[in-house]
Amino acid sequence: MKSEETIFRGEKYSVQEKKSGYKTVMLLTVHNITKGDYGTYTCIAQNTMGKSEDSVRLYEIRNQQSHEIYSSAFLWSCGKLAVP
């Protein structure tokens, strides 16, 4: 989620789920980044074993000489290992 809003798959966001045994990793890609995309993204995982949250902040970095933005896409992964 970004700023308390749930993110859905679509043209702007790609979400992938990768499972390996008891571990699930979610991958979020933000495409064609604009100023409105900057902010804090939070991944919330919950199951019968409990709840886990992790956050990452996406911010603008400009080239000091050309003033260009370095990234046009952003990829973040979060996951939790659940022990049965």
Q: How far is CA 39 from CA 35, 78, 82, in A?
A: 9, 17, 28
Structural domain count, the chain: 1
Residue 72 is predicted with a pLDDT of: 55
38 lies in which domain range?
13-81
Residue 59 is predicted with a pLDDT of: 81
The reported pTM is: 0.69
pLDDT tens digits for range 14-55: 888 888 887 788 888 888 888 888 888 888 888 788 888 888
* 33 located within any domain: yes
Residue 82 is predicted with a pLDDT of: 45
* 3 located within any domain: no
